[in-house]
Amino acid sequence: MAAIICITQVSLNTYGRTGDTIPPAGTSVVLDEIVVTGQGAEIEKRRLSSNVVSIGSKELENYNHGRIDQLLQNALPNVQITLSNGQPGATSMFKARGLSSAFTNSTPVIYIDGVRADNLNTGAALNITEGYYGVFVGTTGQTAASGAMADIPLENIDRIEYVSGGAATTLYGSDAANGVIQIFTKKSATKQSVFFETELGAETANAQYYHFKRTADLLHQTGFVQKYRIGFDGGNDRVSYSFGGNMSGSSGTIVQNANESRKYDLRLGTSVHFNRKTEYQSSFGVVVNEFKRSRNGNQGGYVGLWVTEGAAATNFTYANQAGDRVNYGANLDKLDDYAYAQMKTFVNKAEKLQNNRESVKRFQTSQSLTSKPVNNLTFKGVFGLDYRVNTNKNIYTNEYWDHVQDNYAIIGSSGSIFNFNRNYLSLTADINGQYKWYSDGISIISTAGYQYFSVRDHQWNSTGNDVRDGALIISGAATTLADEWLSFLYNYGAFLQENIGIKDRYFIDMGLRGDYNTAFGDNIGWQYYPKIGISYLLSEESFMQSLKKNNIINNLQIRGNYGIAGSYPPPFEYQRTISFSSYLNHQAAAFGKAGNPDLAPEKKHSYEAGFNALLFNRVLNLGFTLYYALTKDALFGIPMLPSQGYSTSYQENLEEAATYLANVGEIENKGIELSLGVQLLKTKDWNVQLNASCNTNHNEVLDIGTAVPFSIGGFSSGTIQTVVAEGKPVGFLRGSKAVLNEDGSVKEVLPLQDLGSTIPTVYGNLSLSAAYRNWQLFVSGDYQTGAYVHSFDRQFRFLKGLKDEAVPEKTLEGTTQDAQWLNFTNFFVEKADFLKIRNIALSYTVKSSRYMKSAVFSFGVYNPFSFTASSVDPEAALSGALTQGAAATGGFNYASYSLPRQFIGTIRVNF
């Protein structure tokens, strides 16, 4: 991920104090900690029946600060986050308690200071996946796509809360089946402080997965990485402020800076106490993100990794020493020096001539007013917006087409420019009141609220064909084309929550949300989401006091709950429409969407039970949850019968053609979540902690209604796809399987076979934090088992005649590799088990002197080690989602770059 600037600044807190204990990530044993997310208003963790993960700024400083998904990758113990690709701005994949939808992307909803933010984590409807010969191709899932996760504002964060989808998100109604991430930014400080930080370093390609030794030399360079941060805050009892800003850049790891990136991120928070009862808070954030994208995945023609690792070099010719044009060989490492020199020149120029730039400008603000008119009664109103402007410009010159030996293009008139624009505006208004009532060991906290949000996603693109080389805008193109797309919805919801405590140890948590969303079908009215749960502080019982006194048990909370969370359908899908296009200079009408007046949200019915325990003099911190979730009314794109006559152009994605949405499915997820924190050592000089988590998931589609098995990613059914079918996990790999006789010869070839799940059955994180006086070491990583990945690059090499150890020689008797390559897809599916160390960081803190409070020097490596069962990087995959907002499970390694390794030195000075 070339855009990522690795934060290796590991000071223990923002102000340079050392020696504090870092709370183990994600455990909720800090029972009096106040959380908000999923509760409507502030409430102590002890009263909650669900787990709310809260991560403070001190802990967040340990992780990579490039983007929210990377920041949280090792910080959320029960969520697996993988970046789908090493290219800047690429989408990521979230898997928490499996996948609850086969239709909607699994990314949690993101709130920043109570305001809903754009969490698009797939390609956009009209963004440019490919443009050639004047034809625009939108999101296909077959390349690295860019979404909105790479530019969620990250400066000046105070803490991040995460709740998983289910009872914990019931109060978010139709919007939160995948969980909620809420970012709280700093708005005040008790005293004046200033810091500066400079990070400088290098990044290199992660070449460990390359089959050919020469691939890295052909495609990669060492990138220069830089980042500069500044922050200051201060104020008094009435008015205070906090500002943080950074700018960063990288030249990227692909030759010719084909992946260079820049980012600017500013955040200002202020707090004003009008009087003792009323506080106004405001927060403004601005992000600018710009990056270049190199051709990848199934873009065809010249694609750097396909040409090298996919042996597609054979598609290209060079003039040999005798002057004849000959094709490159498939095996790069066996090219003679002359041919290799030719290829190096060819690849270098092909990367240089690409021009695909994407840019994001994002503004986000939250305004809140809190009033406490009387004791125990609090009202809070929040209003805010997230406005994100995304542009993409893709320029193909005649020089490029000529250089990459394209034999379709007419050189001289094939220059083209593709523009994409997306304006996203989300408004949130939220008002709630909370009343706390205490009497004789009984406490009741009543919360009621109303929430409104709107989402307006407006996209358009324009194409200029036959433009002169050198033109950067479509003005003057011989022909121009344009298209427009609009998605628009409102969601209204009201909720009520009662939290009843008895003797401060028995708690009953009940809630109900009613929701209306304009994306619901005409026959669908308000939707209701109930929840009920208990929290029981066993450690507060009298019979436990001896254990508590002896520090065997410090805290023990038992909890259980049931709740429903929803996921609303896309706007306008319920309406029957006629679609229009242009054909031979006239309007051309055709059947549009078939519509479905019964279109309703998916509903995830979630049950969980578990405990949190702090044991043995606070040395062992344990969290355990058993969960079962059943998504009812799961949304599936039901294929229209071909005989019904609904069809989209064949050039568009076949699998998505002519479907209508219906709530027909059932998807089950069950498993456990285990998190562990161990204080290995704590003395005056030492503080060593180990955190680890282990999660299991069994994902199964119980019912697909009237649908037939359908693809949610990949290619045609004769090759490899991720598929949804009854009795299988969402997005299992499906392709041809060669069944062998005992002697290794082929007995039969079975098409459309289950070749493995793309959802891990076990996954988790681990981190080690060790502080010795002014030194600190931090290491973190994550792992998974039980999933599979398909390597198309390997299969392409096999197609091109290179031997593959996984394919027995006997299978090829009497036939050829190119004749059989697609019959043998099972040989190219590998176990995707991995253990990846993401961060290793060492820092040294110089304590206060006359001129400053402290200085921190650190050095870190990001992505240093990967241990994988597969020959390819199971994370480096195509973006997957076939359309905007669609589910994606990964599983295809196809000309996809791995995240680079970064080596970063940091100096931070606090005043």
Residues 613-652 that bind another protein (CB under 8 A): 639, 641-647, 649-651
Q: Which residue, 239, 245, 238, 283, is CA-closest to 264?
A: 245
Q: Which of residues 877-906 bind another protein (CB under 8 A)?
A: none
Three-state DSSP class for 117? Answer: strand
Minimum CB distance to another protein smaller for 685 or for 748: 748
Q: What is the 3-state secondary structure (H, E, C) of 598-633?
A: CCCCEEEEEEEEEEEEEECCCCEEEEEEEEEEEEEE
Q: Which of residues 449-508 bind another protein (CB under 8 A)?
A: 452, 454, 465-466, 478-479, 481, 486, 488-490
Residue with token string 């305001």? 115
Planar angle of CA 823, 827, 829, nearest 5 degrees: 110
Residue 784 and residue 832: Cα distance in Å, rounded?
Answer: 8
Beta bridge partners of 612: 557, 623
Q: Which of 275, 276, 375, 586 binds another protein (CB under 8 A)?
A: 586
Please give the size of the binding site for another protein, defined by CB under 8 A: 88
- Assess 746 for contact with another protein (CB under 8 A): no
Residue 65 and residue 100: Cα distance in Å, rounded?
Answer: 28
Q: Which of 397, 711, 826, 866 binds another protein (CB under 8 A)?
A: 711
Residue 750 and residue 736: Cα distance in Å, rounded?
Answer: 6
Residue 310 and residue 354: Cα distance in Å, rounded?
Answer: 20
Buried b (16+ CB within 10 A) or exposed e, 77-97: bbbbbbbbbbbbbbbbbbbbb
Contact 772, 811 (CB under 8 A): no
Q: How far is the CB of 127 from another protein (least distance, A)?
A: 16
Q: Which residue, 766, 598, 756, 607, is CA-closest to 672?
A: 607
Q: Which two tokens stand for residue 738?
A: 């060669």
Residue with token string 């050639």? 132
- Assess 147 for contact with another protein (CB under 8 A): no
Minimum CB distance to another protein smaller for 94 or for 824: 824
Q: How far is the CB of 780 from another protein (least distance, A)?
A: 39
Selected range binding another protein among 72-80, 210-218, 359-367, 792-800, rule: CB under 8 A: 792-800
Buried b (16+ CB within 10 A) or exposed e, 372-385: eeeeeebbbbbbbb
Minimum CB distance to another protein smaller for 563 or for 639: 639
- Assess 751 for contact with another protein (CB under 8 A): yes
- Phi and psi, residue 425, nearest 5°: -135, 125
The helix (run of H) or strand (run of E) holding residue 546 is helix 545-549
Q: How far is the CB of 751 from another protein (least distance, A)?
A: 6
Q: How far is the CB of 413 from another protein (least distance, A)?
A: 4
- Assess 324 for contact with another protein (CB under 8 A): no
Q: Where are the alpha helices (DSSP H) in 4-103?
A: 57-60, 68-72
- Assess 523 for contact with another protein (CB under 8 A): no
Q: Which of 579, 617, 741, 848 binds another protein (CB under 8 A)?
A: 579
Q: Which of residues 392-421 bind another protein (CB under 8 A)?
A: 405-410, 413-414
Residue 492 burial (CB < 10 Å; 0-12/13-18/19+)? middle
Contact 878, 305 (CB under 8 A): no
Q: Which of 193, 204, 359, 518 binds another protein (CB under 8 A)?
A: 518
Minimum CB distance to another protein smaller for 519 or for 613: 519
For residue 703, give Cα distances in angstroms to 67, 200, 726. 37, 53, 6
Q: Which of residues 254-273 bind another protein (CB under 8 A)?
A: none
Q: Which residue, 382, 495, 372, is CA-closest to 435?
A: 372
Q: Which of 423, 446, 717, 774 binds another protein (CB under 8 A)?
A: 717
Q: Which of 374, 578, 743, 851 binds another protein (CB under 8 A)?
A: 578
Minimum CB distance to another protein smaller for 435 or for 516: 516
Selected range binding another protein among 67-75, 251-259, 590-598, 773-781, rule: CB under 8 A: 590-598
Q: How far is the CB of 799 from another protein (least distance, A)?
A: 7
Residue 387 and residue 368: Cα distance in Å, rounded?
Answer: 18
Q: Which of residues 95-114 bind another protein (CB under 8 A)?
A: none
- Phi and psi, residue 807, nearest 5°: -100, 115
Residue 814 and residue 205: Cα distance in Å, rounded?
Answer: 41
- Assess 442 for contact with another protein (CB under 8 A): no
Minimum CB distance to another protein smaller for 407 or for 439: 407
Minimum CB distance to another protein smaller for 149 or for 477: 477
Minimum CB distance to another protein smaller for 581 or for 848: 581
- Assess 340 for contact with another protein (CB under 8 A): no
Q: How far is the CB of 518 from another protein (least distance, A)?
A: 4
Contact 313, 307 (CB under 8 A): yes
Q: Write the CB contacts of 543 (distance below 8 Å, at least 6 apart in sequence).
A: none
Q: Which of 154, 822, 876, 881 binds another protein (CB under 8 A)?
A: 822
Buried b (16+ CB within 10 A) or exposed e, 448-463: bbebebbbbbebebbb
- Assess 389 for contact with another protein (CB under 8 A): no
Q: Which of residues 156-185 bind another protein (CB under 8 A)?
A: none
- Assess 133 for contact with another protein (CB under 8 A): yes
- Assess 542 for contact with another protein (CB under 8 A): no
Q: How far is the CB of 734 from another protein (least distance, A)?
A: 10
Minimum CB distance to another protein smaller for 213 or for 576: 576
Minimum CB distance to another protein smaller for 264 or for 646: 646
- Assess 322 for contact with another protein (CB under 8 A): no
Q: Which of 136, 396, 418, 507 binds another protein (CB under 8 A)?
A: 136
Q: Which of residues 284-313 bind another protein (CB under 8 A)?
A: 298, 300, 311
Q: Which two tokens stand for residue 163?
A: 């709740």
Minimum CB distance to another protein smaller for 249 or for 297: 297
Q: Which of residues 660-689 bind another protein (CB under 8 A)?
A: none
Residue with token string 């997965």? 209
Residue 853 and residue 804: Cα distance in Å, rounded?
Answer: 60
Q: Residue 711: CA atoms inside 13 Å, Cβ hemisphere, count?
A: 25
Q: Which of residues 592-611 bind another protein (CB under 8 A)?
A: 592-593
Q: How far is the CB of 152 from another protein (least distance, A)?
A: 25
Minimum CB distance to another protein smaller for 292 or for 800: 800
Q: Residue 478: CA atoms inside 13 Å, Cβ hemisphere, count?
A: 11
Selected range binding another protein among 287-295, 350-358, 582-590, 688-696, rule: CB under 8 A: 582-590
Selected range binding another protein among 128-136, 171-179, 213-221, 559-567, rule: CB under 8 A: 128-136
Minimum CB distance to another protein smaller for 375 or for 643: 643
- Assess 208 for contact with another protein (CB under 8 A): no
Residue 700 burial (CB < 10 Å; 0-12/13-18/19+)? middle
- Assess 718 for contact with another protein (CB under 8 A): yes
- Assess 655 for contact with another protein (CB under 8 A): yes
Contact 400, 414 (CB under 8 A): no
Selected range binding another protein among 287-295, 439-447, 503-511, 588-596, rule: CB under 8 A: 588-596
Q: Which of 685, 819, 847, 867 binds another protein (CB under 8 A)?
A: 819
Selected range binding another protein among 69-77, 598-606, 716-724, 846-854, rule: CB under 8 A: 716-724
Minimum CB distance to another protein smaller for 704 or for 861: 704
Buried b (16+ CB within 10 A) or exposed e, 116-135: bbbbbbbbbbbbbbbbbebe
- Assess 657 for contact with another protein (CB under 8 A): yes
